[in-house]
Amino acid sequence: MLEHLTTETRNEKTMNLDEMSIFDFLTTMNEEDEKVASAIKKELSSIAKAVEAIIEAKKQGGRLIYIGAGTSGRIGLLDAVECPPTFGTNPDEVIGLIAGGEKAFIKAVEGAEDSKELGMEDLQNIRLTKVDIVVGIAASGRTPYVIGALEYANSIEAQTIAISCNKGSDIGKVANIAIEVVNGPEVLTGSTRLKAGTAQKLVCNMLSTASMVGIGKVYGNLMVDVQLTNEKLVERAKRIVMEATSCTYDTAEEYLAKANCNSKLAIVMILTGLSYEESLHRLEQTQGFIRQAIVN
């Protein structure tokens, strides 16, 4: 059955991989990697539908949950853990689940991906609800762990999305929305941490970033909900306030202090001349959208 999957077929350009010079191989690999963005472009309509579904789920208080095994699971986890510092989300708003549990991020847990029941159980353990949205990730599109998770999510009427790198994938058939990015064979046969992994990471980048824009976590192209957890991010927040308001460094520093290190609040205070309390009320009225808060 694997021989029918694009991700498992042999790449004719690298049949003599072990005989190629380093430079020739790297050139070929680079050329193959260039195909990923083009393959994703063909799936933009499906990705847009997925983003719309995530935004709707978030507006209802739902969580975004990535679930996968191996490389796919790690990619989902990577995207999930970056959301709190980048967008100011709570750690339980965007969740990454991997077959075998968190320890599988570092070391493979053999057999975990072969169990549909484990996929279901992992969603039950986080108390999945119908307002949550589940994104199943599997390069092959046939991982039982992911299929089990998507089937369970469907059974409680939660919205489901599948990301795979084969057309007509099993997970695509189970999910409400299928994103199937076909990059062609890997330079190293079956090594889906390569082009498939890159494609999955790029799609996850799109899903999280576009959906966060859609719920007011961004002003212009600025990360206005960035969390100031270290000195680098404190300085970044000052630059964000400066860029958003055309104010001086000293003014940005002053208003960040007045706003209790809340970049979004500092921006509204500067642009409207309103007090802390009034600016906070504006943001609450507009569900966190700065552009709407400053024109009311």
CB 290 within 8 A of CB 216: yes
Which tokens in the block code for residue 123? 């969603």
CA–CA gap between residue 255 and residue 208 (Å, rounded): 29
* DSSP 8-class letter at 165: S
> Could you identify the residue written with the tokens 């090594």?
191
CA angle 177, 178, 179 (to 5 degrees): 125
Q: Three-class SS of residue 108? A: coil
Q: Which residues contact 270 (CB under 8 A, 6 or more apart)?
A: 241, 245, 247, 251, 255
For residue 232, how many other CB atoms are within 10 A of its CB?
9
Task: Please say whether the dihedral angle defined by the alpha carbons of residues 261, 248, 270 and 267, taken in this order, is positive or negative.
Answer: negative
Question: Which residue of the set 113, 180, 186, 253 is catalytic?
Answer: 113
Which tokens in the block code for residue 202? 């790029």
Question: Which residue of the set 8, 52, 56, 82 is catalytic?
Answer: 82
Q: Give percent helix, percent strand, percent coil of the chain, each to the nearest 5.
A: 55, 10, 35
Q: Is residue 43 among the annotated active site residues?
A: no
Among the listed residues 41, 33, 88, 100, the one whose alpha carbon sits nearest the alpha carbon of residue 208: 88
For residue 209, how many other CB atoms are within 10 A of its CB?
19
Q: Is residue 254 among the annotated active site residues?
A: no
Catalytic residues: 82, 113
